[in-house]
Amino acid sequence: MKNNNDSLTYTGKFILNHNNIDQSSFNININLVNKQTIIQITKPFYGNVLNIKFNEENDLIISPKQFSETFYISDEMIKNFKYWFSQCLMSYEMLINEDYNDEYFKFKCITENQKTSFDINYNKFLLNGFVIRK
């Protein structure tokens, strides 16, 4: 980003699979403004189900909405999430494979022609989809 008025916007879709049984599809909007990132996750017909906000100075803030379930993310994952997320959007290819205590995390991204495809495995959750830079 060149100055304080620059921003990057992404929009896309992903599917969340839990225990290889429950599948849900979602829309995602990502706004990178200055040093702040806002991720809005919406479900068709329901609206926002989750907001995620973070910046370089503050912690990750996750705000579940009415139609989402509460979930736990370890402090170790939160520490690294901001870096992994920016690397995903700013590089052509990225692969993170981490084990923390009893948690498993794999984050794979590939970018081609302004479209970033991703697969995220976290314990019993699989999230795969794409975002397109506007």
Tally of structural domains, the chain: 1
Q: Tell me, what's the pLDDT at 108?
A: 95
Q: Is 16 inside a domain boundary? A: yes
Task: Choose among 62, 14, 55, 63: nearest CA to 35.
Answer: 55
pTM of the model: 0.76
Question: Is residue 117, in this structure, part of any structural domain at all?
Answer: yes
97 in a structural domain: yes
Work out whether the CA dihedral 42, 19, 78, 68 comes out positive or negative: positive
**Residue 58 included in any domain:** yes
pLDDT in single tens digits along all 134 residues of the chain? 344 457 889 999 998 887 777 788 889 999 988 778 888 888 876 666 766 766 666 565 555 554 455 556 666 777 777 788 888 888 899 999 988 777 788 999 999 988 999 998 887 788 899 999 98
* Residue 54 falls inside a structural domain: yes
Is residue 1 assigned to a domain? no
The pLDDT of residue 128: 92
Record the tokens describing residue 81, joined without a space.
């999430």
Asked, for residue 104, whether it belongs to a domain, the answer is yes
Cα(76)–Cα(36) distance, integer angstroms: 20
Q: For residue 51, what are the contacts with CB-CB under 8 A and spacing of at least 6? A: 38, 39, 40, 41, 61, 62, 63, 65
Which range marks the domain in which residue 32 is found?
Answer: 7-133
CATH number of 86's domain: 2.40.128
What count of other Cβ atoms lies within 10 Å of the Cβ of residue 41? 19
Q: Is residue 12 part of a domain?
A: yes
